[in-house]
Amino acid sequence: MIDEQPQITNLTPRFWATCLFAMPLWLRALNPWLQFVFATLVLLIGAKPFLQRGFTNICNRFTPIALAISIAYVYSFFALLLREKFLYFKQLATIMPILLLWQGCERALIEMAHLSIQRFLNFFPQKASKMFADGHVEVVPVERFVEGDFVQLKPGETIPVDGMIFSNSAEILESLQPANGPLQKKRFGERVLGGWKNGQELSIVQATEVGSGTVYARLRDALLESLPVAVKEYSCSIFIVAVVLVAFIAFLFWSLTSGFERAIGLFCTVLMTMSTSTWALSRSVVLRKAIGIGIWHGIVINAANNFEQLYKVDAQSTAPRDLNSAKQRIVGQNTFIAVLCNAILIPMALSGSITLISGTLWMVITSLCVVVNSLRLK
């Protein structure tokens, strides 16, 4: 499936390896230099993908995460050299398996949003029965059909070309959707489209459009062109700047009142807790799911702005308006989830009531709640 963000690969071995090297850090009285060694191994295995995604494009939802990881590690290294007491190696090693598990769950859930799209791309028949002039029938690849060829359709088969009925009559399901519907009576010479399904009788169709000329092919091509834009993970640059600014203000306040060491931990906690994941994912996942729903109705959503105009589509079907209404409802719910969680967690993070580990857990839970809620779009 097309995705503009580089995906984190080999999640399972990364997850178990980080768990293995993180466990010794929880031993009591572990030498600080050994903490440094094990934490470095954990970050080398687990943090590289997050750092790459966070710093490749500064304005994306992984930037606060990458900043928190980098600052906590660099501070802890120099604190170790200066024999300071506050080290964050244990916390860093603990949050890495959590982040990897989060990404594994998130990717699996997002793939569910792609199922309708993938099913549409794969449902068209690869082979069909071609009837020759001498009357014999041979199953051939769909690519070998040309205009004027005859297709013999068995009951329930999908029509592989745009054409016209060549038998006396036929019953056709006029829908690209996989669900059952009423069959329409078609007479000799009436038009049919590729992707529609034959009824319960043996039928013959003469091809008038094949390959890239069919309506299905044009829908498929438009869909593939729209995906790089439509599945892009939206993020708000202003919000990311605001997150860093709030974290920096908190750092200044706590460095004056409680010392530099604790202020660094609070700075990283605020960055993790206020991660832009919920905001970035909400619109993206809903749009992915909507593309899959819309394509089965012959609606190709090729940009986010076009999505907002669905209610203006003049069509006999109410699908465009219903889809837009459902989208607005889901996005509203996701916004409520994000606002509620941030309203609870931000004061706790700013006051030092939660740790880097608990802040990461809350961010992960909120993000996954948004994805799961987005999948409810129908």
Dump pLDDT digits (tens) for 22-33: 999 988 888 999
Distances in Å between the Cα of 8 and the Cα atoms of 52, 108, 131, 278 are 10, 12, 49, 19
Does the residue 228 lie in any domain?
yes
Q: How much is the pLDDT for 21?
A: 94
Q: Give the pLDDT band (50/70/90) at residue 148.
A: very high
Does the residue 130 lie in any domain?
no
Does the residue 346 lie in any domain?
yes
Contacts 24+ apart (CB under 8 A), 28-32: 32/80, 32/87, 32/89
Q: What is the mean pLDDT of the chain?
A: 80
Whether residues 306 and 181 share a domain: the answer is: no
Contact 145, 112 (CB under 8 A): no
Whether residues 264 and 356 share a domain: the answer is: yes
Domain count, the chain: 2
Strand ranges in the chain using DSSP code E only, listed in sequence order:
127-131, 137-141, 150-153, 162-165, 169-173, 184-187, 191-192, 197-198, 203-209
> What CA–CA distance (Å, rounded) separates 332 from 338?
10
Does the residue 152 lie in any domain?
yes
Q: Tell me the per-residue pLDDT of 346-378, one tens digit each, with 9 for 90 and over.
A: 788 778 788 888 888 888 888 788 777 777 776
- Record the pTM: 0.71
Percentage above 90 pLDDT, the chain:
25
Domain extent at residue 150: 146-209
Whether residues 62 and 205 share a domain: the answer is: no
Q: In the predicted model, is pLDDT for residue 224 greater than 80?
A: no
Among 367, 357, 372, smallest CA distance to 62 is for: 367
Which one of 185, 209, 233 terminates a domain?
A: 209
Q: Give the pLDDT band (50/70/90) at residue 320.
A: low
> What CA–CA distance (Å, rounded) separates 214 from 174?
15
Q: Give the pLDDT band (50/70/90) at residue 4.
A: very low
Which one of 175, 209, 243 terminates a domain?
A: 209
Whether residues 189 and 66 share a domain: the answer is: no
**Which residues, other chains included, contact 155 with Cβ-Cβ below 8 Å and sequence gap of 6+?**
198, 199, 200, 201, 202
CATH number, domain of 186, equals: 2.70.150.10
Q: How much is the pLDDT for 168?
A: 84
Whether residues 337 and 234 share a domain: the answer is: yes
Whether residues 194 and 255 share a domain: the answer is: no
Whether residues 229 and 355 share a domain: the answer is: yes
Whether residues 227 and 333 share a domain: the answer is: yes
Does the residue 137 lie in any domain?
no
Tally of CA atoms within 13 A in the half-sphere of 192 that contains its CB: 36
Whether residues 90 and 25 share a domain: the answer is: yes
Whether residues 235 and 116 share a domain: the answer is: yes
Q: Any alpha helices (H) in 86-178, and if so which ranges?
A: 89-122
Task: Give me the phi and psi of 8, to 5 degrees please.
Answer: -80, 120
Does the residue 138 lie in any domain?
no
Q: Which residue has the higher pLDDT, 340 or 75?
A: 75
Which one of 209, 227, 242 terminates a domain?
A: 209
Q: How much is the pLDDT for 52?
A: 86
Q: Give the pLDDT band (50/70/90) at residue 149.
A: very high
Does the residue 139 lie in any domain?
no
Whether residues 242 and 307 share a domain: the answer is: yes
| Cα 301 off chain centre by | 16
Q: In the predicted model, is pLDDT for residue 319 greater than 70?
A: no
Whether residues 363 and 240 share a domain: the answer is: yes
First vs last C-alpha separation in the chain: 21
Q: In the predicted model, is pLDDT for residue 330 greater than 80?
A: no
> What CA–CA distance (Å, rounded) separates 345 from 250?
14
Question: Order of strands across the sheet with 191-192?
Answer: 137-141, 127-131, 150-153, 203-209, 162-165, 191-192
Tally of CA atoms within 13 A in the half-sphere of 227 that contains its CB: 18
